[in-house]
Chains A and B, each alone.
Chain A
Amino acid sequence: MPLHDTHYQHWDGAHVGIWARRWVIARNGLAAALQNKAMRNVIALSWLAGLAMAALLFLVGQLLVADSMVVKWVAQLNPGLQSFARMLTSWLQDHPEISVGTTQNLLFYLFCVYATPLSIFALGMAMPALITRDLASNAMVIYASKAVTRGDYLLGKFCVAFGLLTLTWLGPVCGAWLVGNLLAPDWRFFWHARVALAHALLYVLSSMVILSALALGVSAVSSREKSTPALWFMWWVLGGVIQPIALQTKPWLRHLSFTYDLKQIGLASFRLGNDLKTAQDNIPIFGEMLRNIRPETMFALDHPMLGGALAGLALMLLLAGWVVVERVSPE
């Protein structure tokens, strides 16, 4: 084909701003991560979990309405239970802050904490699409020669990790809250469940920021596509393994596990101790059942190791930052 069948043409349009260029980096990275079928499956699984959570909230909501489907179903199972269900329902209707607020706070704590491994797994799979592949193909030179700085590049890549966690974690949590309360028998559920949502957002968003930054650090460690996911999963598993051992020997070692530290942040965010005490003191029958919780568990729920967790995470973030600064350069 002759070379000059098309002539060069000058371009005199307006340039887009720096945020648009950062967004291009983030969108491209996200698209690269989503090319992985397993990743798409993990996201689908996360949303299924969100759907299950919404269904659970729907069921809990039905318990608060006299003559609801659930109460009728209970009555069909055992007519003796119907009067108990009606008594509970009328009590719960009188104390919506406890019946809706406390219940949803507990449920969202469990949902957020148990959804964490799925998000960590997703980040592990996305590791090559963050920085690893760019290091392998010398793409840093290309980025550095364009109208973006290293900070812009890192912000874009951070958004890739954050975007993935939005799909696997924040999205399902918010979706479950919205759908669960939309299906509730009363619009006031939204109001009473606001604190549970605020706690969930505080925990999930802070965890997302921390995990995204840690993932960037790990993805910059090596230019080999298999090494960085392996390192990430190894760190995760090892953290889980040392937790019970460290408890017996050197408790501060537990803070080397980011999952343990995040759990402490979760406990501090959701303030489960307060909720349990409220439930113990106010909910008939179930409150009595909750009194069986062991004192040391109650103490752990009431006094999360927030200081140690923050110090441990700060150390990990510093290490991740150092790796990124050292590795992410055009040379």
Chain B
Amino acid sequence: MDNVTLQISSGSIGLLGPNGAGKTTFMKCLLQLLPITSGSARLLGREVGREGREIRKRVGYAPELNCHIPGMAGCEYVTYCAQLSGLPFQAARQRAHEMLDFVGLGQERYRKVDTYSTGLKQRVKLAQAIVHDPELVFLDEPTNGLDPKGQAQILELVRGLWRTYGITVVLSSHLLHDVERVCDQIIIIARGRVLVHDSLENLKARKRGAAEVVLARGHGELQAACEQRNWLCQMLPNGHLRIEHQADSLNPLLHVLHDLKLPPLEIIPSPNALEETFVQALEISHAAA
């Protein structure tokens, strides 16, 4: 991580960035799985590094890598994790079964975790992360290795954690779609730096007033009309016209096309800030590679 300063309120937070951006490192630093070499962090009002045990009692973590306690059946494993978080045995066992029901693990819970498929492992990881009823849960790439149906189910569960049950979720993913679907706050990271931190609503609403117009004819007329209005108009190599109309909506551009009687074949609005920043993060990552 490089010079990161963030203040994150409760909610459902998406940590978005390409592979190797620093998402996992960020989470591990907060959980004290990695040492913080400089700076400081507070989690749930407590100083990370000084009150680690107390913090982790109120925090859940589902790691990206396959990790489990060897030789245990699913229900034993989740019970054990609950006990490690401080639940007494009876409560731990009851909650383990409730959480395994919640994540949709049936009779497989009586099989050893070592024999689970990727999908079952992801579910049991989620169950162990929430079994002690944390206030905050970190989920690192929870949909990795799942088929589309499994992905949708897990994302639905994760979405419900904040929206229905009030558990703050930090979801790390390199998939824009996953984060968009679940989170209401977005943090985009690239090369250990935070590029943007804003609400999903704001990021989606924030668009540059630009669009690509595909025409069958009349390119010159449209370019001339744009120049009259001081709009930057550029012919792209693919034959499209890129017009920076500097408005929040496409209406001014549509009016011009209507006045010129030029029916567009297609109008492609500029991407919103979320997509644009994510693409920027990808480019930074590729450039560094």
- Taking beta carbons and an 8 Å cutoff, which residues of A are in contact with B? 1-16, 18, 20-21, 24-25, 28, 32, 35, 133-134, 136-149, 152, 330-331
Contact = CB atoms under 8 A, between A and B. Distances in A.
A136 B101 CA distance: 28
A147 B102 contact: no
B32, B52, B84, B130 — most chain A CB neighbours (10 Å): B84
A25 B84 contact: yes
Given A16-B88, A21-B83, A147-B84, A138 B67 contact: yes
Nearest to A156: B84
Interchain residue pairs A-B with the least CB separation, the first 6: A15-B86, A6-B101, A138-B67, A146-B84, A145-B61, A147-B57
A11 B67 contact: no
Nearest to B164: A8
Interface residues of B, number: 50
B101 A149 contact: no
B160 A142 contact: no
Contacts of A146: 56, 81, 84-85
16 contacts: A1-B104, A3-B103, A13-B91, A15-B85, A16-B88, A21-B86, A137-B70, A137-B114, A138-B68, A140-B67, A142-B67, A142-B69, A145-B59, A145-B60, A147-B57, A148-B53
Interface of B: 28, 31-34, 52-54, 56-57, 59-61, 63, 65-71, 80-81, 83-88, 91, 95, 98-99, 101-104, 106, 114, 128, 130, 132-133, 153, 156-157, 160-161, 164-165
Nearest to B80: A28
Nearest to B157: A3
B87 A13 contact: yes
A24 B84 contact: yes
A82 to B, nearest CB: 61
A8 B161 contact: yes
B86 A145 contact: no
Given A16-B83, A139-B67, A142-B67, 7 more contacts: A9-B98, A13-B88, A21-B84, A137-B67, A137-B114, A140-B67, A141-B33
Contacts of B34: 330-331
A8 to B, nearest CB: 5
A13 B83 CA distance: 13
Nearest to B86: A15
Contact of A8 (B83, B132, B165): B165
B69 A134 contact: yes
Contacts of A11: 87, 91, 95, 132-133
B71 A149 contact: no
Nearest to A140: B67
Contacts of B84: 21, 24-25, 142-143, 146-148
A231 B93 CA distance: 37
A21 B103 CA distance: 25
Contacts of A10: 133, 165
A147 B85 contact: yes
